[in-house]
Chain A
Amino acid sequence: MDRRTTLRWMLAASAGMPLARQWAFGEPQTPAGGAAPAGGDAVPASSTAAAGYGTDPDLSKLHRPGDVWPLTLGEVQRRTAAALCDLIIPGDARSPAASVVGVVDFLDEWVSAPYPDQRRDRSTVLEGLGWIDAEAARRFARGFADLADAEQRAICDDICCEAKAVPSRAQAARFFARFRDLTAGGFYSAPEGRRDLGFIGNVQRASFDAPPRELLAKLGLDRVRP
Chain B
Amino acid sequence: MPFVSASGIADAYDVIVVGSGAAGGQSAYTLCMEGAKVLMLEAGRKYLPETETPMFQTPDQAPLRGDGTPDKEFGFYDATVDGGWTVPGEPYTRTTEEAAGRFDWWRARMLGGRTNHWGRISLRNGPYDFKPRSRDGLGFDWPISHADVAPYYDKVERLVGVYGTSEGLENTPNSPPGCLLPPPAPIVSDLLIVQRARRLGIPVIPGHRAVLTQPLDFKRSPALLHPGNREAQAIIGADMRQRTACFWATPCGRGCSIRANYQSTTVHLPPALATGRLDVLTDAMVSEVLLGKNGRARGVKFIDRTDGTEHAAAARVVVLAASACETVRILLNSTSGQYRNGLANSSGKVGRYLMDTVGSSLQGQVPLLEGLPPLNEDGASGHAVYSPWWLYAQQHRGKLDFARGYHIEIAGGRRMPGVGTLSGIEWLTGGSYGKRFKEDARRYYGSFVSFDGRGEMIPNEKSYCEIDPTVKDRWGIPVLRFHWEWSQHELRQAAHMQSTFAAIVEAMGGRVNGGPIIDGALAISPGGSIIHEVGGAIMGVDPASSVTNSWGQTWDVANLFITDGAVFASNADKNPTLTIMALAWRAADRILHLMRRKEL
Contacts and interface: CB of A to CB of B under 8 A. Distances in A.
B137 interface: no
Interface string B76-87: 110001111011
B65 A189 contact: yes
A193 B83 CA distance: 31
Contacts of A216: 188, 191
B432 A160 contact: yes
Contacts of B89: 19-20, 23
A30 interface: yes
Contacts of A89: 437-438
Contacts of B375: 200, 211, 215
Contact of B97 (A26, A196, A197, A221): A26
Contacts of A181: 422-424
Interface in B47-63: 52, 54, 56-63
B518 interface: no
Contacts of A164: 431
A203 interface: yes
Contacts of B424: 181
A181 B432 CA distance: 12
A207 B376 CA distance: 11
Contacts of A28: 93-95, 97, 481
B194 A224 contact: yes
A209 B435 CA distance: 34
Interface string B428-470: 0011111101100110011000000000000000000000001
Contact of A56 (B62, B70, B81, B378): B81
A160 B434 CA distance: 11
A191 to B, nearest CB: 6
Interface residues of A, number: 86
Contact of B195 (A55, A63, A189, A221): A221
A107 to B, nearest CB: 11
Interface string A192-212: 011011111111111111110
Contacts of A88: 433-434, 437
A226 B204 contact: yes
B188 A162 contact: no
Q: Is the interface of A mostly helix, strand, loop or mixed?
A: loop
A57 interface: yes
A215 B248 contact: no
B69 interface: yes
A55 B88 contact: yes
A78 to B, nearest CB: 18
A18 B93 CA distance: 17
B186 A25 contact: no
A205 B426 CA distance: 36
B191 A106 contact: no
B373 interface: yes
Query: Which of A60, A63, A89 counts the most chain B CB atoms within 10 A?
Result: A63
B516 interface: no
Interface stretch (A7-15, A110-118, A131-139): A110-118
A191 B431 contact: no
Nearest to A113: B64
Given A20-B87, A188-B441, A55 B95 contact: no
The 9 closest A-B pairs by CB, nearest first: A161-B431, A20-B86, A32-B472, A185-B419, A198-B374, A23-B91, A28-B93, A189-B59, A201-B378
16 contacts: A20-B91, A23-B89, A23-B91, A25-B91, A25-B94, A25-B97, A57-B76, A65-B63, A89-B438, A186-B419, A189-B58, A191-B60, A201-B414, A206-B247, A210-B185, A224-B195
